[in-house]
Structure 1
Amino acid sequence: MVVESLTAVPLQLGGLLGSQLGQLLLVLVAIAVVILVGRLVLKIAWRLVTIAAVIIGALLLLSFFGLSPF
């Protein structure tokens, strides 16, 4: 019973998404999803860049004092 009602939802929304306002809403929702995913990816990227900058800075300081790890 529940599966049948879930499969009928796209058919019921077909008329709503067929109009220009429905398509505009669909585009705006798609843009919102892209922005949210992008924010998560950028948050991870900023952390990786910050960690890399700290490690490179520490290695640079060590090399100034003649303690090269390589």
Structure 2
Amino acid sequence: MSELQEKIDQEREQARAVCDSEGSSSAECAVAWDNVEELQAEASHQRQNTEPKNSLEQYCDDNPDAAECRVYDD
């Protein structure tokens, strides 16, 4: 995970440099910040996948039809 965080930091620095040189409303600046956002989303996704499930989530995985596990749509 620290490797991904280092990459995010590098891309953030690069985005700042691009925006300083090309202007904050330039297409290059927007692309640079899009790259940062994509890496941040990936980091968030990886964090979500590594969090352990609580006992109810484990139970519902094993028993999806149980009353406790029902999800109602409004």
For Structure 1 versus Structure 2, the TM-score category normalised by the shorter chain is 0.3 to 0.5
TM-score (norm 2): 0.40
TM-score (norm 1): 0.42
Greater RCO, 1 or 2 (C-alpha within 8 Å, sep 6+): 2
